[in-house]
Amino acid sequence: MTSLELATKIAQSLDDKKAKNINVLDVSKVTSLGDYFVIAAGNSSTQVHALADSVEAKLKEEGVEPVSVEGYRSEGWIILDYASVLVHVFTQQSRDFYDLDRLWSDGTKVDIEYNIN
């Protein structure tokens, strides 16, 4: 599975669980952290956990497991690291505070084939 296919599957999973403001950024030319960032928000810390759990479960079914997971003890931000794709799931308040979309604006926004709200 390519990095873009993985990012697309992640975005689909987030959309299926009603994540808000899903953004896929190609950051391969601006950082060595990974090829893509998938950034999304949930309405509450409970939904943030459910969104991250959903992504992890869907990819595990396909034999893909994260290298690491951070933030399950936090209230507002979980990161799933799939090596080439980093998934950032925030509460809206945390997303506004950290503003990764602006911080990584040198990356290229990806219009994935799946229709995401």
105, two tokens: 């604006």
Query: Residue 95 class from Cβ within 10 Å (0-12 exposed, 13-18 middle, 19+ buried)?
Result: buried
CATH class of 3-104: alpha beta
For 58-74, what is each residue's pLDDT tens digit?
999 999 999 999 998 88
Q: What's the pLDDT band for 86 if we cut at 50, 70, 90?
A: very high
**Domain segments of the chain as ranges:** 3-104
What is the model's pLDDT at position 22?
Answer: 95
Q: For residues 58 and 13, is the Cβ–Cβ distance under 8 A?
A: yes
The residues pairing with 79 across neighbouring beta strands, listed in sequence order, are 70, 88
Collapsing DSSP to helix, strand or coil, 35 comes out as coil
Global confidence as pTM? 0.90
Q: For residues 14 and 51, is the Cβ–Cβ distance under 8 A?
A: yes
